[in-house]
Amino acid sequence: MLVLIQRVSQAAVHVEGEAVGQIGPGLLALVGMEPGDTEAQLQRMAERLLGYRVFADEAGKMNRSLRDTGGGLLLVSQFTLAADTRSGMRPSFTSAAPPEEAERGFNRFVGICRENHAPGVETGRFGAHMVVSLVNDGPVTFLLRP
């Protein structure tokens, strides 16, 4: 499992012209599921995502988490994040979880995040062609692994 997080002042996901998820200040998280991701990994990643300190405190240092700020969380499934790009000129997706497994894992991850982040969790639409827009705040971008 990989999660690419971006601190945003706003972000939205559209499918066929319809906004299916949008947030104000918070985190946009692109989620790549890998074969064999476990419940423990999903739990650990949710804990890291919600607790990762990427927001400024009063002194301007990154000491506050999404939990601390109560910001929005937009989760977007992105199988291309798990691609193997080490060789050749075309990505291989053998390192990404098969669609059924990925959807189960992603949905469970969304559930865990919703259970632990009352201010709100929005999502894209699994398997759809999505148009993601964001205003990256910083820019601040990190790749998390469980």
**Catalytic positions, please?**
78-80
Cα separation, 132 vs 26, whole angstroms: 15
Burial of 91 (0-12, 13-18, 19+ CB in 10 A): middle
Amino acid residing at 55 = F
User: Can you say how many angstroms the Cα of residue 32 is from the centroid of all Cα atoms in its chain?
Assistant: 8
Strands 72-77 and 26-32: parallel
